[in-house]
Amino acid sequence: MRKILNTAFWALLVAGVVFVVAFVGQKHNETICEHFELSIENQNYDALTNAEELGAIIIAATDTIAGKALNEIDPYDIHNILNENPYIKYADIQTGIDGKLKINVVLRQAIIRVINKEGLSFYIGGEGWIMPVNPGFPSRVIIANGSVDNITAVAQNKKLHVDSLPENSLARKLYEMGKYINSSEFLKKLIAQIWITTSGEVELIPVIGEYTILFGSFDEMEDKFEKLAIYYKEGASKAGWIDYISIDLKYKNQVICSKK
């Protein structure tokens, strides 16, 4: 008899839990979405968009969200809309029993802006994604320009990764250099611009000073930057680098400086 009572008790308990879950789920689906909140996480850099712009894109693509029942709103549709945005790295969408739709977004961070000879430009993010310039949202990053060509198609593409480009492409080389510079606090504070000469060589323009760093080709990039760092730490203060017009890193195991 006791076993029968125990079985009946657990059966009623399970049935009650199922009923409550179903009831809560139904009420949740019928809840009217009063508004949605979109927040951007870890925005400690110059973002290429903002919450207001992204919210307007969602509303334009879905007609409206506020005033609809939650079961009429498909989070996957919103996720797909955000996934098409080149500035978004990740988006998380949640609905609450209070009728709020919460969207948390992580943005991609630009590390370099490439400008070709025709004036077309694009950003490359730290993870290699190419992003168009968004008017009104400039990002203070290294500029790469000069004799930059054959990247018009790259500049016009809104969702492209540098890994899809040929290994010897200029955009890919500029990305690798920009990534290396951004990985070093010393280089980030030193370099403002990457200039490509008509012969295809690299010249670096510092943030302060009227001299040019002659880098040469992209080959042996790490060794050249290491030479530059050693020169600044050990030799520049003694040599008075402010009087130079150029610092040449093109020759192996040498740093050649030319005075004004």
**Cα 73 to Cα 30, 36, 105, distances in angstroms:** 11, 11, 18
The pLDDT value recorded for residue 78 is: 80
Range of the domain at 88: 35-107
Q: How many domains is the chain built from?
A: 2
CA distance 106 to 44: 11
**Res 71: pLDDT:** 63
**First vs last C-alpha separation in the chain:** 105
What confidence score (pLDDT) does residue 198 get? 94
- Give the gyration radius of the chain's Cα atoms: 28
Residue 13 belongs to some domain of the structure: no
Q: How many CB atoms lie within 10 A of CB 11?
A: 10
User: What value does the mean pLDDT of the chain take?
Assistant: 80
One domain, residues 88 and 213: no
**Is residue 189 one of the residues assigned to a domain?**
yes
**Is a pLDDT exceeding 60 seen at residue 2?**
no
- DSSP SS3 for 126: coil
Strands (E), 49-171: 88-95, 100-107, 110-115, 121-125, 129-132, 142-146, 160-161
Look up residue 15 and give its two tokens: 């049935």
| The pLDDT of residue 27 | 44
Predicted confidence at residue 98, as pLDDT, reads 63
Written as six digits, the tokens of 201 are 């060589």
What pTM does this model have? 0.80
pLDDT tens for residues 121-134? 999 999 999 999 99
Residue 53 resides in a domain: yes
Work out the average pLDDT over 167-189. Answer: 94
Based on the domain organization, do 45 and 115 belong to the same domain?
Answer: no
Domain of 40, CATH number, reads: 3.10.20.310
Nearest residue to 89 via CA among 73, 110, 105, 111: 105
For residue 86, give the 3-state DSSP assignment: coil
**Same domain as 159, residue 241:** yes
119 shares its domain with 43: no
Predicted pLDDT of residue 55: 86
> Is residue 9 assigned to a domain?
no
* More confident position, 256 or 234: 256
Q: Does residue 158 sit in the same domain as residue 245?
A: yes
Are 97 and 223 contained in the same domain? no
Q: What's residue 155's pLDDT?
A: 72
Which residue carries 């490439």 as its tokens?
Answer: 114
The angle formed by the CA atoms of residues 87, 204 and 239, to the nearest 5 degrees, is 140
Q: In what helix (H) or strand (E) does residue 240 lie, and over which residues does it extend?
A: none
In a domain, 20, yes or no: no
- Greater confidence (17 vs 212) lies with 212
Q: Please indicate, yes or no, if residue 100 is contained in any of the structural domains.
A: yes
Question: Which CATH number covers residue 207?
Answer: 3.40.50
Q: What is the dihedral of CA 129, 132, 136, 140, to 10 degrees?
A: 50
Query: Given pLDDT bands bounded at 50, 70 and 90, which one contains residue 241?
Result: low
